[in-house]
């Protein structure tokens, strides 16, 4: 099959490094003499034919910019067979020979649906700060989100030390605790609550209180920083704050980082990953891949089925869990 035009879109939550990936795709296509078409607003753009040609001049000075120049959005209509068929027809009208989707699990599900209807290649590139996609060691945006979280936690630590306070820092991650776990290790935080290891509110509260008691007995660290994955604590993180205040008498404060973790200029690791995966996506299309996600495993490029990458549970790094337990028990 001859490849003359490759389309690209970004879908779902934005992640630092998406622009770097768009840049790599465009430049790799130009190197191969292939035209690049960018669809705006995710799958919505496929349905409304909101697209534009991309050239090297369009992606100049783009590698360091956060967000996505193609914008992103969620698309309910794309969940229907009619929506998917319309997208396939529109791609054919634009004479597109392959589509690259930069996004997370929901975006890859859309790619799966499209690949069943559209016979030309659909390739996914993992772009999400949650790092919850199986088959790749890291996803685009994850390292920048950690850096953003760590910088905020470092500043909170100063206030926590000055007033001997407990701080609860809520980070994003949905049903995955990778961001919380690595942020806790990188910032030297004292405790972390993640969905993969969460037992019950009662048991987790006892665990926190036990650790606080040990520190009080050993007269170490008057402050205490606890990292919590969003939407994890029953009733919300403020319920946990109230419980800790009632049990300890300490002044407990809550910091919710929220969407600030998705923004900002991508760090070098995300720029490198985005560039490698964007280039590899184009190479994979030329080599006949379809219905696949491009990723990296042990620094090597890999291809994983879209369904496999989305449906398999990635889980936490077990060694990181072990490390956190050892270094936060008494410190």
Per the annotation, the verdict on 89 as an active-site residue is: no
CA pair distance 292, 304, nearest whole angstrom:
5
Q: Distance between terminal CA atoms of the chain?
A: 60
Sequence-distant (6+) residues with CB within 8 A of 120 are 1, 91, 96, 97, 98, 99, 290
Could you tell me where the DSSP H helices lie in the chain? Answer: 18-31, 43-48, 81-93, 105-117, 142-163, 178-187, 201-218, 237-248, 268-286, 306-311, 318-328
Residue from 97, 130, 182, 190 carrying the catalytic annotation: 130
DSSP for 239-306, written as a single string: HHHHHHHHHH---EEEEE-GGGGG-SPPPHHHHHHHHHHHHHHHHHHHTT--SEEEEEETTEEEEEEH
Residues annotated as part of the active site = 130
């Amino acid at each position: 099959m001859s490849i003359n035009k490759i389309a690209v879109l970004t879908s779902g939550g934005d992640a630092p490094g998406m622009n770097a990936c768009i840049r790599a795709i465009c430049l790799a296509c130009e190197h191969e003499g292939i035209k690049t078409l960018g669809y705006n607003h995710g799958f919505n753009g496929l349905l409304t034919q909101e697209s534009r040609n991309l050239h090297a001049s369009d992606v100049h000075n783009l590698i360091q910019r956060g967000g996505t120049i193609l914008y992103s959005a969620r698309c309910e209509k794309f969940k229907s067979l009619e929506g998917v068929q319309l997208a396939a027809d529109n791609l054919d009208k634009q004479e597109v020979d392959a589509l690259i989707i930069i996004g997370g699990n929901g975006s890859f599900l859309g790619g799966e649906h499209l690949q069943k209807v559209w016979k030309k290649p659909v390739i996914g590139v993992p772009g999400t700060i949650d790092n919850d996609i199986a088959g790749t060691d890291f996803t685009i945006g994850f390292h920048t989100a950690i850096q953003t979280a760590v910088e905020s936690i470092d500043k909170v630590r100063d206030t926590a030390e000055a007033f001997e306070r407990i701080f609860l820092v809520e980070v994003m991650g949905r049903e995955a605790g990778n961001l919380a776990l690595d942020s806790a290790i990188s910032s030297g935080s004292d405790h972390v609550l993640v969905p993969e290891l969460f037992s019950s509110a009662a048991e987790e509260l006892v665990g926190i209180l036990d650790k606080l008691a040990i520190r009080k007995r050993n007269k170490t660290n008057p402050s205490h920083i606890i990292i919590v994955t969003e939407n994890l604590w029953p009733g919300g993180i403020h319920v946990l704050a109230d419980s800790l205040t009632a049990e300890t008498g300490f002044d407990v404060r809550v910091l919710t980082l929220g969407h600030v973790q998705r923004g900002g200029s991508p760090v070098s690791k995300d720029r490198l990953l985005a560039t490698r995966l964007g280039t590899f996506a184009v190479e994979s299309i030329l080599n006949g891949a379809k219905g696949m996600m491009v990723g990296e495993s042990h620094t090597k490029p890999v291809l994983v089925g879209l369904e496999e990458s989305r449906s398999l549970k990635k889980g936490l790094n077990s060694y990181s869990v072990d490390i956190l337990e050892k270094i936060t028990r008494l410190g």
